Amino acid sequence: MQAKKTRHFSGGWRMRMALIQVLLMDPTILLFDGLTDHLDLEASDWLEETLMNPDCILVVVSHSQDFLNGVGGPDVIISIFLNSRKCRVWG
C-alpha cells in the first residue's frame, strides 16, 4: 500500500484514483473530456472494459477513435470528427 499524498503521484495515477472515486459513486450520468490523456495503455484498456456496459448515461469526448469504439455498449454512439466535418452514427 502506498503511504504518500495524492499530489506526489504522477498524473496517470491521480487520474486512475479520480476515476475509481467517480465510478464508486454510482452516478446517473458521466461526462468525460480527454479521459485517456493521462492514462497508459493498460489503464486505458481497463477503463474501456469498465465503460463497455455502463449503468448510466455516458458522454465521452476523446481523440482516440479506438477508445470511443470500445465504450458505450449496444446503445447509439455519435462520433463527430471536427477536422473532417463528418458525423457518423453507430448503433
pLDDT at 26: 86
pLDDT at 75: 58
CATH placement of domain 6-90: 3.40.50.300
Running along the chain, 91 residues long, what does each successive block of 10 average in pLDDT? 79 84 88 82 88 82 79 60 58 54
pLDDT at 23: 86
DSSP string, the chain: ---S-GGGS-HHHHHHHHHHHHHHT--SEEEEESTTTT--HHHHHHHHHHTSS-SSEEEEE-S-HHHHHHSSTTS-EEEEETTTTEEEEE-
pLDDT at 19: 85
pLDDT at 83: 56
Q: Hey, where are the domains in the chain?
A: 6-90
